[in-house]
Structure 1
């Protein structure tokens, strides 16, 4: 029997909106469109795996 050590392969990112500079946390593998809560700009779009992130990534959170 083979034991597989599974790590959490997904991350959360703290990102900054390019329009209003609002900072918020988004999921790396977002399955829905993520909008900025202040101005409504699209920060992340789903792509079947990792999301396409349209904002500046400030930090990776665990």
Structure 2
């Protein structure tokens, strides 16, 4: 039996410009906004710290 993954993709809204993009919740590198270049997610060694509004979870 294959265990279910606890990792997810999140739809995040940038705090600065309002751009929506999809981010991995356990990102290993800093994720920047595609429009304004602001930091959207910062790695912590486990789950990334999301700096913006989480709009939804993709499954």
Matched, 1:35 2:32: yes
**Matching residue of 1:14:** 11
Calculate the TM-score normalised by the size of structure 1.
Answer: 0.90
Calculate the TM-score normalised by the size of structure 2.
Answer: 0.95
Q: What number of residue pairs does the alignment pair up?
A: 59
| Higher CA-based Rg | 1
Q: Give the gaps of 5 or more residues in structure 1.
A: none
Q: CA RMSD in A?
A: 1.0
